[in-house]
Amino acid sequence: MRYSIDNWDHLFKVDPAKEISDEDLDAICESGTDAVVVGGTDDVTLDGVLDLLSRIRQHTVPCILEVSNLESITPGFDFYFIPMVMNSTEKKWMMDIHHAAIKEYRDSIDWDKTLVEGYCIMNEDAKAFKKTKSEMPDSEDVAAYAYMAEHIYHFPVFYMEYSGEYGDPELVKTVKEQLTDTKLIYGGGIENNFKAREMKENADTIVVGNLIYSDINKALKTVKAVKEME
């Protein structure tokens, strides 16, 4: 089947490095979310990825691997998200690691199922920010990254990543205004229905991650909250 992000309002992101009960994972998969993303920053192993894949595969929800390292890439997902960290100070996270992956996997890649994400990480305390040695952009920088994502790199997705922290809705609005074809994903600190809706006002798609582990019932409610908009 060919999936498309064009109609995705809501994604859950589950972390292979974290424990999740069958009951909670089943509820996530049956919640009505548009897809379940498997991804994290630290301690992502092939075993952890395969464990989640086999459990999510018991449901019909589309299952996406957001690739975080070369060691945990595996076939079997409906879709692959490839992060490229635009505000990293190291070329590795925008070029070298992808170059290595292409050398290893180029014959296995189905580009119809692969989506490149221009990431801008905006929480200094996030593991991904530290790992990629990102530098904090100001509003003008973020808008310029978004514009570059669309017009220079032709990325299908620009991802405003506040992982662990709630971002600035006004900045999300400004960024959305830079984009025509490139889709805007917002993720970070969505911990209730209000925040889910506030970010979905301007982002094309919102991602709920940590709330799954801190308050599963609130996390599940965010699906209906954004699906009821419009």
Ligand X SMILES: O=P(O)(O)OC[C@@H](O)CO
Which residue ranges make up the site for ligand L4TTDIOY (CB under 6 A)? 15, 39-42, 66-70, 73, 75, 80, 82-83, 85, 93, 97-98, 101-102, 105, 108-109, 114, 119, 126-128, 131-132, 161, 163-164, 209-210
13 assigned ligand-binding residue: yes
SS3 39: coil
**Residue 190 Cβ vs ligand X, minimum distance, rounded to whole Å:** 5
Taking CB under 5 A as the rule, does residue 83 contact Mg ion?
A: no
CA distances from 73 to 66, 111, 221 (A): 9, 15, 31
Q: How many residues bind ligand X (CB under 6 A)?
A: 13
The candidate with the shortest Cα–Cα distance to 17, out of 131, 183, 93, is 131
Q: Counting contacts by CB under 6 A, is residue 25 touching ligand X? A: no
Among 5, 9, 13, 88, binds ligand X (CB under 6 A): 13
* Residue least distant from ligand X (Cβ): 187
Nearer to ligand X, 161 or 204 (CB): 161
Alpha-carbon span 79 to 58, nearest angstrom: 16
Amino acid at 56: I
Q: How far apart are CA 47 and CA 200, in angstroms?
A: 33
Closest CA to 212 of 230, 191, 196: 191
| Contacts to Mg ion by CB under 5 A | 15, 209
